[in-house]
Homo-oligomer: A and B are copies of this chain.
Amino acid sequence: MSNMQDIADKAGVSRATVSRVLSDHPSVKAATRKKVLHWVKELGYEPNLIAQSLAGNSTNIIGVIVPEIAYPFFSEIIEAIESQAFYEGYSVIICNTNRSLEKEKNILTGLNKRKVDGIIAVPVSTEFSLNSYRKLNIPVTMITKKVEGFHSIYISHYRGGELMAKHFLSVGFRKIGYIGPVKKSTSAIKFQGLRDYLLANGIELTDVIECDPPANMNATGVSENVKNYILVRGIQSEVLLANDDISACEAISALQMQGISVPHDIAVAGFDNSLLAREMNPKLTSLAQPLEMIGKKAVEVLLDQINYHTQPQMYEMESRVVIRESTVSWNVQQS
């Protein structure tokens, strides 16, 4: 593997000049530049980014921290981040917190030692994680959650709940239920949006099936909860909004097992518009978060922060309802 000195020797110039050529410094005679570039190509020279990082002081690496890489919602964001980062000449180190504060801390010190230029993160907790991030003293952009004091990119879950409510009403539903966390969790906010919008239209939620926020991809609590609810109280609603697509699928499964068919007997909508929503049977109406845009924007905001030290800012992204079989064929059958 050749290094800068080799090029310098061959071209009969100093390393400094080679460096200038490679970084497009203006003050290099055309002839010299040509000579250098010739040997760069001839020797197949590739700069050593480690050395560059040590000498200059940017690694062109950004760290990405998520609770669960394989959760479709996150993996799609990761893909968008990687894509934009690659485009901007950055590499991406991904880290999985597994929702553990301790692991998150380890990850942060790791990234710090690696001298990453910045971090895009879904913090484990908006309460207990933040100090670790602050102490880092490197640019951080938070995603999917609104975090005071940090650049944050997220969608309004409240607005999402409202949009779903609006859709339900427009389809003609009047008895509406909800499945998911009701307090504390970020995702519970969509519950409020849903409820408030309906209340403003004189409608109260018919069923509220409270579930913990999804702990991870394999959590199957929802199905149990729905089943119990059905057995104990029965379901009055014409449509149910589930906290996310997985919950929606779980709910559908539980409903079917109790002999309630979706969307024939009851409609169900999800949240996230993940692969599941697209492929589920019936195909799920779901609130689409602009995941690609979140990822892309996150990189842009982070790079701005890195390069221009911008002040923390909130970016609320627009979401939209993607309408599919799980809520509309019900309507069709009614008409």
Chain A interfacial positions (CB closer than 8 Å to B)? 46-51, 53-54, 59, 61, 68-70, 72, 75-76, 78-79, 82-83, 86, 91-96, 107, 109-110, 112-115, 217, 246, 249-250, 252-253, 256, 262, 275-276, 279-283
A279 touches B246 (CB 8 A): yes
User: Bound complex: CA of A249 vs CA of B279, how far in Å?
Assistant: 6
| A275-B72 CB under 8 A given contacts A46-B112, A50-B115 | yes
Q: Which one of B82, B276, B279 lies within 8 Å of A95 (CB-CB)?
A: B82
User: Bound complex: CA of A51 vs CA of B59, how far in Å?
Assistant: 12
Contacts of A91 in B (CB 8 A): 93, 95, 110, 114
A96 touches B82 (CB 8 A): yes
Contacts of A94 in B (CB 8 A): 78, 82, 92, 94
A279 touches B281 (CB 8 A): no
Contacts of A69 in B (CB 8 A): 75, 78-79, 82
Smallest CB-CB A-B distances: 5 pairs:
A249-B279, A75-B75, A69-B79, A70-B79, A70-B75
Q: Which one of B46, B250, B256 lies within 8 Å of A113 (CB-CB)?
A: B46
A113 touches B49 (CB 8 A): yes
B54 touches A50 (CB 8 A): yes
User: Bound complex: CA of A78 vs CA of B68, how far in Å?
Assistant: 11
A20 to chain B, nearest CB (A): 19
Q: List 6 A-B contacts (CB under 8 A).
A: A46-B112, A50-B54, A68-B79, A70-B79, A82-B96, A262-B281
B113 touches A48 (CB 8 A): yes
User: Bound complex: CA of A231 vs CA of B222, how far in Å?
Assistant: 39
Q: Which one of B86, B250, B281 lies within 8 Å of A256 (CB-CB)?
A: B281
- Determine which residue in A79, A86, A115, A280 has the highest number of CB atoms from chain B within 10 A of its CB, and name it: A79
Contacts of A78 in B (CB 8 A): 69-70, 75, 94
A218 to chain B, nearest CB (A): 8
Contacts of A281 in B (CB 8 A): 249, 252-253, 256, 262, 280-282
A114 touches B70 (CB 8 A): no
User: Bound complex: CA of A115 vs CA of B61, how far in Å?
Assistant: 13
Q: Which one of B86, B110, B113, B276 lies within 8 Å of A276 (CB-CB)?
A: B276
A140 to chain B, nearest CB (A): 17
A93 touches B93 (CB 8 A): yes
Contacts of A282 in B (CB 8 A): 281
